[in-house]
Amino acid sequence: MRYNFDEIIERRNTNAVNVEGFRGYIFGEYPEIDFPFKDDEFVRMWVADMEFATPPEICQAIKDRVDKKIFGYTMVYDSAYYEAFREWCQKLYDWSFPKEELIFSQGIIPALYELIGDLVGEDESVLITTPAYGFFQHAAKFNNRGLVFSPLKNEDGYFSIDFDNFEKKASDPNVKLLLWCNPHNPTGRVWSEEELKRLAEIIEKNDLWVISDEIHCDLLRTGKKHIPLGKVMKDYKKLVTCMAASKTFNMAGMMFSNIIIRDEELRKTFRRHDRTAGNINPLSLAANQAAYEKGGEWLEQLKFYLDGNFEFLKAFLRENVPGAVFKIPESTYLAWVDFNQCLPDVENLPLFFAKEAGVLLEGGNKLFVDNAKGFVRLNLAMPRSILKEGVGRIADAIKNYKNQ
């Protein structure tokens, strides 16, 4: 079957954060701000969900579950979901894990909020690399825990770990937990085996807990391979792996994610603190199982389409936005673009592009914690026709600014 990624889907009147929620998230400090565009005139390249339809196989599984007519309290008792997810991990990553390690959460973010509180003491800190997904910082702040940054190195738009700096930060006696992102949001790096082995040595040497957030791991450029940290650190007990079908198949609103906890004591604590008491949404369960059982072909076609969107962006920027620094990322549908040379004096890039281009995007240190000045993140998971309109407007806004 060929899936249609060019279809433009109406999202108004679905309470979509992507459509309705930008004022609060991107422009939180002044949500009442007026723009020279109506809300539905914006090209939306911000929050990490996609403009593509969730695969029909998943929609069908939800409908089939609806046909069973009762949606009472639901927990996972059989092993069908585990088998589907385990096989997916085995096939894609040559990695798996025992059933008892798998715990469900309504999201990876809620799990991070919980785990940081469980693992890090009141005077202790969490280590992250920067730039970082904003909720990594929010999760530490929510728990009133310290946060230590290790900035990634940037060589001409390609990011890597600054191991000297990282090792220094990891050996800070206050640091108890590394919150690791693989593949990395926002840079799209897929960490190599060599990098992960070196990282693993530092984690072990400092006896750190590590949460490896691998939510973006299915969304690779064609030919790239993801290596779960759990595969490199085969026997390390202080490791938690987070994965989900939510990003891969555009169903973050179903609120279902996999938290794989090796340490038995931590599993007990996590369960004891679980405010949902282990209940899950029956429609989400059906959707997620179908994703892992039936989503493989759709994902291959999605990857091909995204590869094309990234090639388009690269060529477009080269021709139309001199000074923009951009490398096609190894994963994710997010482009991390350096506009420092194009717009050196613009403090608030999301505000600039919303006002001057009618494009909603994220960028800078406010949204990506640190080491993000002058960068914007463009979400490319959309029909190419909308992408062309969006980047065309971005290029025009930069030209107009320079000609002022």
Shorter beta-carbon distance to ligand LCS: residue 214 or 398: 214
In 242-383, where does DSSP find H-type helix? 264-272, 282-294, 296-320, 349-356, 364-368
Among 54, 95, 107, 191, binds ligand LCS (CB under 6 A): 107
In whole angstroms, the minimum distance from the beta carbon of 382 to ligand LCS comes to 14
Cα-flanking dihedrals φ and ψ of residue 204, to 5°? -65, -45
Assigned token pair, 181: 């992102």
Q: Does 137 bind ligand LCS (CB under 6 A)?
A: no
Shorter beta-carbon distance to ligand LCS: residue 47 or 167: 47
50: amino acid identity, one letter: M
In whole angstroms, the minimum distance from the beta carbon of 315 to ligand LCS comes to 25
Interactions with ligand LCS, residue window 193-222 (CB under 6 A):
213, 215
Q: Does 109 bind ligand LCS (CB under 6 A)?
A: yes
CB 295 within 8 A of CB 245: yes
Interactions with ligand LCS, residue window 45-84 (CB under 6 A):
47-48
Region from 101-109, 145-153, 273-281, 302-310 binding ligand LCS, contact rule CB under 6 A? 101-109
CB 182 within 8 A of CB 213: yes
Q: Does 335 bind ligand LCS (CB under 6 A)?
A: no
In whole angstroms, the minimum distance from the beta carbon of 302 to ligand LCS comes to 17
Interactions with ligand LCS, residue window 225-254 (CB under 6 A):
244, 246, 252
Q: Vertex 181, ends 219 and 252: CA angle to 5°? A: 50
Shorter beta-carbon distance to ligand LCS: residue 343 or 360: 360
Shorter beta-carbon distance to ligand LCS: residue 213 or 330: 213
Shorter beta-carbon distance to ligand LCS: residue 109 or 240: 109
Describe the strand order of the beta sheet including 362-363 as a list of residue ranges.
334-338, 375-379, 362-363
Q: Does 185 bind ligand LCS (CB under 6 A)?
A: yes
Shorter beta-carbon distance to ligand LCS: residue 108 or 372: 108
Region from 91-99, 104-112, 190-198, 203-211 binding ligand LCS, contact rule CB under 6 A? 104-112
Q: How far is CA 150 from the centre of its chain?
A: 19
In whole angstroms, the minimum distance from the beta carbon of 21 to ligand LCS comes to 10
Shorter beta-carbon distance to ligand LCS: residue 47 or 386: 47
Region from 8-16, 103-111, 308-316, 337-345 binding ligand LCS, contact rule CB under 6 A? 103-111
Q: How far is CA 28 from CA 18, 23, 33, 48, 145, in A?
A: 14, 6, 10, 17, 23
DSSP for residue 116: H
d(CA 158, CA 161): 10
Mask for 257-276, x = binds ligand LCS (CB under 6 A): x-------------------
Q: How far is CA 8 from CA 41, 60, 94, 279, 296, in A?
A: 14, 20, 36, 35, 23
Q: How far is CA 398 from CA 321, 323, 341, 351, 375, in A?
A: 8, 11, 11, 13, 14
Q: Does 26 bind ligand LCS (CB under 6 A)?
A: no
Contacts with ligand LCS by CB under 6 A: the residue count is 14
Residue where the block lists tokens 């339809």: 53
In whole angstroms, the minimum distance from the beta carbon of 164 to ligand LCS comes to 25
DSSP string, 198-214: HHHHHHHHTT-EEEEE-
CB 138 within 8 A of CB 28: no
Residues that bind ligand LCS (CB under 6 A): 47-48, 107-109, 133, 181, 185, 213, 215, 244, 246, 252, 257
